[in-house]
Amino acid sequence: MAVQDAIIGWKTITHGCHVLEPGSTRHFKTGDWRSMRPVVDKEKCIKCGMCYIFCPDMCYSQTEEGYYEANMDYCKGCGICANECPKDAITMVPEEEE
Amino acid sequence: MIPELEKFKGFSAKRLPKEEGLASGHRGCQGCGEVLALRMVMKALGKDVIVCSATGCMEIITSPYPQSAWNVPWIHVAFENAAAVASGVESALKVLRRKGKLPKKHIDVVAVGGDGATGDIGLQWISGAFERGHDMVYVCLDNEAYMNTGVQRSGCTPYGAMTTTSPPGKKSIGQVTWKKNIPQIMVAHNIPYVATASPAYYLDLMNKIKKAAMVNGPAYVHIYSPCPTGWGSRGEKSVEYARLAVETKVFPLYEVIEGKYIVSRKITKPKPVSEYLKGQRRFRHLTEENIAYIQKRVDEEYEKILRLAELT
Amino acid sequence: MAKRVGIEVSIAIAEAVKLAQAEVVAAYPITPQTHIVEHLSELVADGELDAEFIPVESEHAALSTCCGSVAAGARTYTATSSQGLMLMSEVLYVASGMRLPIVMTVANRALSAPISIWNDHQDIMTQRDCGWIQTFAENGQEAVDLTLHAFRVAEDRKVSLPMIVNIDGFTLSHVIEPIELPDQADVDRYLPPFKPKYKLDPKKPISMGPVGIPEVYTEARMAHDQAIKNAKRWIIKAWDEFEEVFGRRYNPVEEYRTEDAEIVLVTMGSISETAMTAVDKMRDEGKKVGLLKIRLWRPFPGPEFRKAAKGAKVLAVVDRTLAPGASSGPVGEELRTVFYKVPGAPKIFNFIAGLGGRDVTVERFEEMVDKAASYAKKRPKELYEVIGVREK
Ligand SMILES: Cc1ncc(C[n+]2csc(CCOP(=O)(O)OP(=O)(O)O)c2C)c(N)n1
Ligand code: SF4
Ligand code: SF4
Ligand code: SF4
Ligand SMILES: [Mg+2]
């Protein structure tokens, strides 16, 4: 691997390689791993939060009206939320179709 | 009843803590049931915690330098020794508090390891820590193989499963041994709290973690953790498999509080194990006969737990 | 007033750890380290030392536990030997890579097989490259002083590296010597409380021990290498301060009768005492012989050694380990590198002696000096020679 591939210098690397910023993986957007995205049908949604609790990527947050919305910056498109939604309110749609 | 648990109030679906111990952007596979379980563990623990991880998938996917998914203090030293590292952290907090160098406020010390880290290579370190009585919670995230190194068998790999080191062939059905019963080994240490949990039953899981953290002394929680990559199952099915494992009695949920067995969810109308086995590539090669054997053994093992619950 | 007492060296080391007010001690027994940790557990049981003594189930667990306790901010000590050090090996590298300032005594002992509880340096030499600062004590007083020095250096924020004090098993650990145990007040003056720059703290969460991808690993190793090299300055400074407080002087390399010496013996650890006797004897006989004692092994004090060896024509370097299949012993190899292509460098001959508890007597040192003198005239066939080995 060439020298220029290094992403940090030995003088700037942190003490003992400690990571000083908690939760810093949020700077890495995993959204582009996705080929399918979840789309919520608010008509069917009963605001139960199952999608929120079962997402392995902490994507969902609650909107002011109480619905749940997934952050597409991180959603990997696994489909657990759609599978677990008790009301089948979530559909996984291919990325290209929008 | 353990006095510490008298104040225990369970979580409810309506009022789940907002805080996340783990941040998005971790490198877990799509639909990883292990990181989902870990997320729930961390949610139950809150902020005042120090986590000691064993090497394995969860450590790798949460700590790609210069980033970390951890919102709480976290340390990883090696594969087999998380329980010893946690012993050190716990002892340090104890002496520093005694000497007035730390506030009295309680900090939970938690060790986290995979089934390999826990049931195979690290068993001695956990045994030592439990025997010494350190106030810690040890969480085993059991995805039933060494996933981080490419799906090799572990002692927790279920009978018949295909892994890269238990391949089915002319002379083998795959994993030839029955799953090692790690929770029972922990019970034998006479620690105050042992439990099994599944991310499909998230409130049960979080409540058990909370209790484990509340009791003084060592506590152990063994969590079933579906791994779509290693099992050859579909990512969206991770929670479904976690539920099926319970509903088929493959993975019984129970607590052992001061030696007393309490079945968390008694399965009166079990689904057949075949329903659980299908759709997972690791079991695809099994014959009807193999499945009948598994069914029989699963029933027997479940009966043992019920009997223990009656006896204790 | 500091008191001078006749005391077993292991007990004295435990007393030094008490004077340093270690807060966590995690250890597993192995001969000849046992007396140190037994005494520490007594001190804790009697309430003389306010610490957590953790009787772990293995040496691997001992050092793993130490990693946790020091990372959480407690002054941490352990001790081991031989097979125990080998079992720890994995964690040694982790502790230094994570910059965790643990202090450890290694009571040096041979390695199996065949199993031997007796003294040599084979255990520690397998861990030569583990990235810890390492010193070697020559006598009981040094063992005590270097222990205090180790806490001072390791925990210094400018250093923040773990440190090993090597003491020879039995020949040092189990002998009774007159030792001056320092006053608590002086120790407190010398050794400030442990205040690590980074620790595991829910108020300020950090992650320790992440994954190093190829894009960072080389830089991480380089940073570690530079840290231990830079540490030399602070190691020496801490010896300067030690002299101010306690009146005893230590150097990375100690010279003994090296003025005008042509043949210089090089030793580490307790055999240096016999070596001095041998030098005195040979000097009396008119031989121009001197001795260099290596006290600081890692980081290796190359410039200091070259300076100390100035004028010597021949070095007779004693290694207390045999590295099967290697070109020479580790100390011999180190010094050949240190003098490589240096103008006027002395000729270096390497002797392996004192394995598995075999005495290195005055006569043996004389033999090495004589051999080195003759090899200087006629190059030997081998790059090293095992001293005092019987053939049939
Ligand atoms: C001493 C040692 N042996 C082997 C390894 C290689 N190794 C790293 S993680 C791992 C498997 C982890 O399996 P498990 O504990 O079940 O965790 P998972 O990755 O499945 O979550 C292995 C074998 C290691 N890092 N250290
Ligand atoms: S799981 Fe379905 S019903 Fe429940 S909140 Fe999410 S979208 Fe709505
Ligand atoms: S598809 Fe998967 S990653 Fe995306 S929001 Fe749903 S559960 Fe989360
Ligand atoms: S291999 Fe399995 S356990 Fe590991 S991150 Fe992927 S899905 Fe999760
Ligand atoms: Mg595993």
- Judge: B202–A53 Cβ closer than 8 Å, yes or no: yes
Quickly list H helices, chain B. 33-45, 57-62, 82-98, 115, 123-132, 182-187, 202-214, 228-231, 238-247, 273-277, 288-311
Amino acid present at C81 = S
DSSP designation for B27: -
Which ligand number lies closest to the CA of residue A60? Answer: 3
B240 — contact with chain A (CB < 8 Å)? yes
> Which residues, in sequence order, are bridge partners of residue B254?
B263
Q: Which CATH number fits domain A40-98: 3.30.1330.10, 3.40.30.10, 3.30.70.20, 2.30.250.10?
A: 3.30.70.20
Fold of B3-7+17-311: Rossmann fold (3.40.50)
Reading the block at residue C73, the tokens are: 């901010």
For residues B32 and B49, give the distance between their C-alpha atoms in angstroms, rounded to a whole number.
24
Across A47-60, average pLDDT? 98
- Domains contained in chain C, CATH given: 3-246 (3.40.50.970), 253-386 (3.40.50.920)
Q: Which residue positions in chain C have pLDDT lower than 70? A: 1
**For residue B60, pLDDT beyond 90:** yes
For residues C118 and C320, give the distance between their C-alpha atoms in angstroms, rounded to a whole number.
12
For residues A52 and A48, give the distance between their C-alpha atoms in angstroms, rounded to a whole number.
9
* Domain residue ranges in chain A: 40-98
SS3 of B70-136: ECCCEEECCCCCHHHHHHHHHHHHHHHHHCCCCCCCCCEEEEEEEHHHHHHCCHHHHHHHHHHCCCC
Atom of ligand 4 nearest to the CA of B27: 5
Identify whether the C-beta of residue B66 lies closer than 8 Å to the C-beta of residue A8.
yes
Q: By a Cβ cutoff of 8 Å, what residues of chain C touch chain A?
A: 97-100, 160, 197-198, 205-210, 212, 214-216, 218-220, 222-223, 226
**For residue A98, pLDDT beyond 80:** no
For residues B261 and B305, give the distance between their C-alpha atoms in angstroms, rounded to a whole number.
8
| Ramachandran region, residue C8 (left: φ > 0; alpha: ψ -120 to 50; beta: rest) | beta
Identify whether the C-beta of residue C174 lies closer than 8 Å to the C-beta of residue C8.
yes
- Judge: C215–A9 Cβ closer than 8 Å, yes or no: no
pLDDT of residue C2: 83
SS3 content of chain C, % helix, strand, coil (to 5): 40, 20, 40
- Judge: A17–C212 Cβ closer than 8 Å, yes or no: yes
Q: Which helix (H) or strand (E) holds C300?
A: none
Greater confidence, A1 or B153?
B153
Task: Name residues whose C-beta falls within 8 Å of residue C26's C-beta, 6 or more positions apart in sequence.
Answer: B87, B88, B91, C53, C54, C56, C61, C62, C63, C65, C66, C69, C76, C78
**For residue B1, pLDDT beyond 90:** no
Whether A70 lines ligand 2, by a CB cut-off of 6 Å, is no
- Chain B residue whose CA is closest to A58: B24
Using an 8 Å CB-CB cutoff, list chain A residues near B16: 49, 53
Query: How remote is the CA of residue A33 from the centroid of ligand 4, in Å?
Result: 15
- Chain B residue whose CA is closest to C24: B92
- Judge: C215–A6 Cβ closer than 8 Å, yes or no: yes
Q: Which of C70, C132, C206 to mutate to test the interface with A (most CBs of A within 10 A)?
A: C206
- Judge: A19–C210 Cβ closer than 8 Å, yes or no: yes
Whether A66 lines ligand 2, by a CB cut-off of 6 Å, is no
Per residue in C67-79, pLDDT (tens digit) is: 999 999 999 999 9
Name the B residues in 133-162 with CB < 8 Å from any C CB: none
- Judge: C68–B87 Cβ closer than 8 Å, yes or no: yes
Whether A85 lines ligand 2, by a CB cut-off of 6 Å, is yes
pLDDT of residue B15: 87
- Judge: A58–B23 Cβ closer than 8 Å, yes or no: yes
Residue nearest to atom 22 of ligand 1 (CA): B149
Q: Identify which of B225, B200, B199, B235 has the alpha carbon closest to the alpha carbon of residue B31.
A: B235
Burial grade of C107 (CB within 10 A; 0-12, 13-18, 19 or more): buried
Indicate the pLDDT class of residue B16, thresholds 50, 70 and 90: very high
Using an 8 Å CB-CB cutoff, list chain C residues near A9: 219
Helices and strands in chain B, H and E counts: 11, 8
- Judge: B88–C200 Cβ closer than 8 Å, yes or no: no
pLDDT of residue B156: 98
Per residue in B222-239, pLDDT (tens digit) is: 999 999 999 999 999 999
Please provide the DSSP assignment of A27-70 as one string. GS-GGGG-SEEEEE-TTT-----HHHHH-TT--EEE-TTS-EEE
For residues B248 and B269, give the distance between their C-alpha atoms in angstroms, rounded to a whole number.
9
pLDDT of residue C1: 67
- Judge: B66–C206 Cβ closer than 8 Å, yes or no: no
Residue nearest to atom 2 of ligand 3 (CA): A78
C51 — contact with chain B (CB < 8 Å)? yes
Whether B117 lines ligand 1, by a CB cut-off of 6 Å, is yes
Indicate the pLDDT class of residue B109, thresholds 50, 70 and 90: very high
Kindly state the percentage of chain A with pLDDT values over 70: 94
Of the candidates B13, B22, B70, the beta carbon closest to that of A58 is on: B22
Atom of ligand 2 nearest to the CA of A87: 3
Q: What pTM value is reported for the model?
A: 0.98
Using an 8 Å CB-CB cutoff, list chain B residues near C201: 73
* Domain residue ranges in chain B: 3-7+17-311
User: Residue C23, SS3?
Assistant: coil
Amino acid present at B172 = S
User: Residue C51, SS3?
Assistant: coil
**Chain A: closest CA distance from residue B184 (Å):** 28
For residues B154 and B151, give the distance between their C-alpha atoms in angstroms, rounded to a whole number.
9
pLDDT of residue C45: 98
Indicate the pLDDT class of residue A96, thresholds 50, 70 and 90: confident
**Chain C: closest CA distance from residue B57 (Å):** 11
Q: Which helix (H) or strand (E) holds C165?
A: strand C163-168
> ipTM score of the complex?
0.98
**For residue A3, pLDDT beyond 90:** no
pLDDT of residue C142: 98
CA dihedral C43, C45, C46, C49 (to 10 degrees): 50
For residues C360 and C119, give the distance between their C-alpha atoms in angstroms, rounded to a whole number.
11
Using an 8 Å CB-CB cutoff, list chain A residues near C97: 16-17
Reading the block at residue B300, the tokens are: 């027997």
pLDDT of residue C281: 98
pLDDT of residue A97: 56
Residue nearest to atom 2 of ligand 2 (CA): A85
Per residue in B158-194, pLDDT (tens digit) is: 999 999 999 999 999 999 999 999 999 999 999 999 9
SS3 content of chain A, % helix, strand, coil (to 5): 30, 15, 55
Q: Identify which of B13, B87, B64, B85 has the alpha carbon closest to the alpha carbon of residue B43.
A: B13
Kindly state the percentage of chain A with pLDDT values over 90: 93
